[in-house]
Every structure is written in C-alpha cells, then in structure tokens.
Amino acid sequence: MKRQGNFRFHGYVRGFSLIELMVSLTIGLIIVISVISAYLGSSSAARMAEAQARMNEDAQAALSILAQQIRMAGDNPLHGTDRNSSFRYNPVYSTSYVGGATFTYPGTLTLPGTFTLSNFSIRGCDGNFSNITATATLDGLACAGTSTLPDSIAVNYEADQFNTVATNAGAATDCLGNALGTVTVTFPSGTATTATYAVADNRFYLGTPTSGLPSLYCKGNGGASTPQPLVENVEDLQFTYGTVSASNTSTTATVAGYLSAYDIVNDANLSILPIEQRWGKVLTVRICVLVRSENPVAPDANAAKYDDCQGNTNVTAPDLRLRRAYTSTVVLRNRRR
C-alpha cells in the first residue's frame, strides 16, 4: 500500500508593500516635476530670449532712424550755379543769404504759398515741445525748460532723392515717406535766375497711439503732415549735445563738453549768442532710447531691474517687462556754422 505523502508549497506570492508603493510614487512624482520644471524653465528662457531679440530690433530701428536724420541736420550743398562772388544762398537757413532773393513754396498742403526758412538746423527740448505738431518752422518751437519726461528733437536739412527715400517720381521725402514740395529761389540780377530744392523739417518725440504702446513718433512736413508712430515700445528718449565754445567758428573743432537742451539755451558761455547760433555750436548728439518688452516675461522683480538712460538702476518694474537702455553718438558732419 502506497502511502500518499502530504505535499506542502513552501513558497508564496506577495505584492508591493505600502512603503515600497509610496517610494515608487514619490520617485515618479519627482521625475514628473523635474520634467515639468525643465519644460517651464526652457519655455521661460525662450520667451525672454525672444523678448530680448525683439527689444534689440526695436532699439536698432529707433537709433538708426534718429542717427540718420540727426546726421543730415544742416545739410545744404553749395551748388556752383547758386552763388557768385557777391551772392551766396543757403537753402536751409533764412539768415544765411544776401542780395534780396525771394522764395516761394508751391508744394504741399501744409505750408503757405510763401515758404519760410528756418534759422535752425537742429533744435531740442528737455521734454516735449509744447507745439511740436503745430508750428510751421523750427524757429517757432516752444520748450518749457527742464523736465524728466522723454526729450524731443527737430532737424532741418536740404532733402533730395539721394539722402531720403525718393518717391517713384523721384521726389524727396520726409521722415514718413511723404513727398516734399519744392522751394523755388528767384535770384537777384547777376546770378543764376532760379534754383529749386526741397527742405525736410522732421520732428521726433514719444507718444502713445491707440494701441497703448509707447512709441517713437515723427512729424514731417510733407503730404498731410500727420504724425505717425515709427517704432513701438520705446519708453524713454534722451538727448545730450556735444558743443564747441561760443568763440569757436571752425567746422573741424572738437567737442568741449556735453549739455542738455536746457543748458544750451541757458549756458553762460553760449548765452552771448542768439538762440539759433547757440544750437549752431552743436557738433555731436548722444542718443539714448529705453526700450521695453511688449509682454511681461521676467520671472520676478529682481530679474526685471534695469539701468535707465541716466545710468540709474531701477528696481521698480511691477509689470515684469524687460527694459534696456541703448545709446549711440552721432556727429553732425554737415554743420556749417
């Protein structure tokens, strides 16, 4: 008789313990959080890089426009047929010609039939000219004095198809691409009978369009002469002017120092001169534009701090936008007085 043995299964199957399960879940959660954090950090860095690139583009555009216009201030080539030993006319400055020449302006809708030349090639204001869009010439611009607000500037020069973006018809244009009318000069006897040219009167300042974004504006003297924004997200605009001494008449002089627009008008050294001649002593212009990002991209207020145009560190940027000041210096190579 066979004896049937009793078999026992000594091994057993078991699941994860509660501790093991919690450890696994914790490790998995850490991995998920790390992946999400890496993604968010990469996304934030990408947004900041994109914002900085856009700010650089806006700043370069603003500085390029301003530098090109300021560099042209006072440009008035002396054409051989426009002068002789007893007569010379300057197509920009109203007090630079003699001999009784008469000027008429049959051009655009914005200026009267008799064209009024300006005594200024460049003129600035600490703050905004109070009548920057209203007055007909640079002579009539009114400035209140010192201000911490963004500055404004106006330039005057002879415009042609080479130093402006000409129309299809070859006409010179203002800062907005509007065609400029031509000035016709009738000379006195003994000189050329007539000469025709165009004068650009371009004024730059900061304004806020309907979009709500602070922008660099230009008001030209061509076409309908309606001011238009050129570059958005420009939050501050500051100019300082490198001048020569009042007694210096050389066109190759070196800069004696930098003054604000208010100082040029009130400086004791320059005060012996008429106001237009004080501005005629400007040899260089330093430009500073403060540009901001279009959207908030900084992770915190510390990351949003910036140095302004005066070199002061600003730590109060509650909107978390990036800001940066960009500078450039322009030589008035066309200075004639």
pLDDT digits (tens, 9 = 90+) for 29-54: 888 887 777 766 666 677 888 899 99
Rounded Cα–Cα distance for residues 189 and 281 (Å): 34
| pLDDT the model gives residue 194 | 65
pLDDT, tens digit (0-9, with 9 covering 90-100), for 245-293:
877 766 567 888 899 999 999 888 888 888 888 998 899 999 999 999 9
The tokens for 33 are 């959080």
93: which DSSP letter? B
pLDDT(59) > 80: yes
Residue range 85-104: average pLDDT?
Answer: 44
**Coil vs helix vs strand at 77:** coil
191: burial class by Cβ within 10 Å (0-12, 13-18, 19+)?
buried
120 has a pLDDT exceeding 50: yes
Q: Is the distance from CB of 201 to CB of 220 less than 8 angstroms?
A: yes
Indicate yes or no: pTM above 0.75.
yes
Q: Is residue 2 predicted with pLDDT exceeding 90?
A: no
The conformation of residue 303, written as its DSSP 8-state character, comes to: H
Whole-angstrom distance, CA of residue 285 vs CA of residue 241: 5
For 122-161, the pLDDT digits (tens) are 999 999 999 998 888 888 999 987 778 999 999 988 888 8
| Residue 195 pLDDT grade (very low, low, confident, very high; cuts 50, 70, 90) | low
Tell me: pLDDT of 191 over 60.
no
Spatial separation of the C-alpha atoms in residues 91 and 167, rounded to whole Å: 21
Q: Do the Cβ atoms of 258 and 286 come closer than 8 Å?
A: yes
pLDDT band at 307 (very low <50, low <70, confident <90, very high): very high
For residue 233, give the nearest of 196, 206, 202, 200 by alpha carbon. Answer: 206
| pLDDT score at 225 | 77
pLDDT score at 91: 45
State the pLDDT at residue 15. Answer: 62
- Residues 73, 124 contacting (CB under 8 angstroms): no
Which tokens sit at 273? Answer: 């001169």
Helix (H, G, I), strand (E, B) or coil at 243: strand
216 touches 229 (CB < 8 A): yes
| pLDDT confidence bin for 241, thresholds 50/70/90 | very high
Residue 5 pLDDT exceeds 80: no
DSSP 196: E
| Beta-strand pair 234-243/282-292 | antiparallel
Amino acid in position 323: R
Q: Is residue 206 predicted with pLDDT exceeding 80?
A: yes
Instruction: Check whether 14 has a pLDDT greater than 50.
Output: yes
pLDDT value for 108: 37
